[in-house]
């Protein structure tokens, strides 16, 4: 059984240096981790199109997920996707749209055990265009680049410079979506490429941002990629895939012989957003959406995923949308969008407080290959 301990100061601060200690069957490994708390974002200008029709989103997400998970066409996981523990030993936590989340007793990872088959998913994504819509809406593109992608690119740069004392030259973004991060990196003068298997994402990226993404499966077509990338990023990717460990193993193969950094952003289970969604399982459109997020990480399970793929964790970043979630859930429950207008002023400061208390719904870890 894996176990993680953290040495940290009492004070809530925007930045800290901590020691994270991994122990497993007599093995002990220490990681020195620079932690950043918080990421200011004008969430309502970004998500405005979503609050306009939140009720329509709920109806669409609920009916599509309920139908998919009620079908017989499900694949049943035999092992924990992170530590390979027998999936029969996992404990059921709660269900969203007929899909129970389970927790692994060995590494603490959360996952959906019975997932729609590959065929069912291809049919779903082929006929349902709304999944990419939030990310690919033209109206929000510039806001998304400046408020979401650019802070990530700058954080990536500063972590690389801290670690290696120089700037990275080549960046590879895996699961690049609609190309925002690659675009932001190029604005900073970096050589950035992206791979994306979704055709609609690649089309948008080309048409709107003039960024050509490559149609490459990162696990099975790794040999098509250059081995001189300095940074490999997975922004909101490994929670969607059946084999997150294979993604990190592939990143290790590309980076192991260089001054390389791997970065992964994932949804985080232990947060205010999850405890809220546990009470509102019938109106979830993000975070614990069991179709997109078949994996939900704990600090331990993400750290274990890095440790077991021979990476040393060097940085972490905590932020989220928990208070936005609270405000939209209240507005939806009361069927009154004025609540959003009245309460949106709470979002920036309350979210910042949650982040400093390490109780927010997203996290990013950066790591370098162990030598
Ligand atoms: Zn596990």
The pLDDT of residue 118 is 81
Please, what is the Cα angle at 235 between 200 and 300, to 5 degrees?
140
Contact, 120 vs 73, CB < 8 A? yes
CA of 105 to the centre of ligand 1 (A): 7
Give the pLDDT mean for 266-289.
97
Q: With 70 as the cut, is the pLDDT of residue 63 above it?
A: yes
Query: Distances in Å between the alpha carbon of 192 and those of 78, 123, 311?
Result: 37, 32, 22
The pLDDT of residue 45 is 61
CA of 1 to the centre of ligand 1 (A): 9
CA of 17 to the centre of ligand 1 (A): 27
CA of 258 to the centre of ligand 1 (A): 30
Contact, 294 vs 87, CB < 8 A? no
CA of 158 to the centre of ligand 1 (A): 32
Q: In the numeric block, which tokens belong to residue 277? A: 């969604």
pLDDT confidence bin for 214, thresholds 50/70/90: very high
pTM for this structure?
0.95
Helix and strand numbers, DSSP H then E, in the chain: 14, 15
CA of 242 to the centre of ligand 1 (A): 14
The pLDDT of residue 1 is 87
Contact, 96 vs 58, CB < 8 A? no
Residue 280 sits at φ, ψ, to 5 deg, of: -130, 50
Three-state secondary-structure class, residue 38: coil
E strands of 79-132, at which residues?
91-96, 99-103, 110-112, 114-116
Q: In a 10 Å sphere around its CB, with 0-12 CB exposed, 13-18 middle and 19+ buried, how is residue 104 labelled? A: buried
Contact, 318 vs 362, CB < 8 A? yes
Q: Residue 234: beta bridge partners? A: 264
First vs last Cα of the chain: how many Å apart?
24
Ligand 1 ion local residues (Cβ < 5 A): 80, 82-83, 85, 104, 106-107, 109
The tens digit of pLDDT for each residue in 145-184 reads: 988 899 999 999 999 999 999 999 999 999 999 999 999 9
């Amino acid at each position: 059984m894996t176990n993680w301990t953290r040495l940290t100061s009492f004070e809530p601060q925007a930045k800290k240096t901590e020691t994270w200690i991994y122990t497993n069957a007599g093995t002990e490994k220490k990681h020195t981790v620079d932690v950043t708390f918080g990421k200011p974002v004008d969430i309502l200008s970004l998500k405005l199109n979503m609050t306009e029709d939140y009720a329509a989103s709920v109806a669409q997400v609920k009916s599509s997920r309920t139908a998919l998970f009620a079908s017989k066409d499900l694949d049943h996981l035999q092992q924990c996707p992170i530590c390979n523990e027998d999936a029969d030993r996992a404990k059921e936590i709660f269900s969203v749209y007929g899909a129970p989340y389970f927790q692994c007793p060995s590494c603490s990872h959360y996952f959906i055990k019975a997932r729609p088959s590959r065929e069912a998913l291809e049919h779903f994504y082929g006929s349902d265009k709304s999944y990419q819509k939030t990310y690919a809406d033209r109206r929000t593109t510039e806001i998304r680049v400046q408020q979401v992608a650019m802070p990530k690119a700058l954080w990536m740069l500063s972590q690389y410079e801290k670690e290696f004392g120089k700037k990275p030259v080549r960046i590879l973004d895996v699961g690049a979506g609609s190309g925002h991060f690659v675009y932001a990196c190029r604005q900073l003068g970096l050589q950035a490429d992206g791979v994306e298997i979704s055709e609609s994402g690649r089309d948008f990226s080309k048409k709107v941002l003039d960024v050509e993404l490559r149609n490459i499966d990162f696990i099975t077509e790794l040999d098509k990629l250059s081995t001189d990338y300095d940074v490999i990023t997975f922004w909101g990717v490994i929670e969607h895939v059946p084999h997150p460990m294979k993604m990190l193993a592939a990143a290790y193969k590309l980076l192991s012989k260089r001054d390389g950094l791997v970065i992964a952003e994932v949804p985080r289970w232990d947060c205010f957003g999850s405890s809220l969604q546990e009470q509102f399982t019938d109106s979830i459109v993000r975070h614990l959406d069991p179709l997109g997020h078949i994996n939900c990480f704990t600090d331990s399970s993400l750290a274990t995923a890095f440790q077991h793929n021979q990476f040393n964790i060097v940085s972490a970043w905590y932020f989220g949308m928990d208070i936005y979630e609270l405000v939209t859930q209240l507005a939806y429950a009361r069927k009154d969008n004025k609540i959003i207008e009245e309460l949106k002023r709470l979002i920036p400061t309350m979210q910042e407080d949650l982040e400093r208390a390490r109780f927010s719904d997203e996290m990013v870890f950066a790591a370098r290959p162990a030598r």
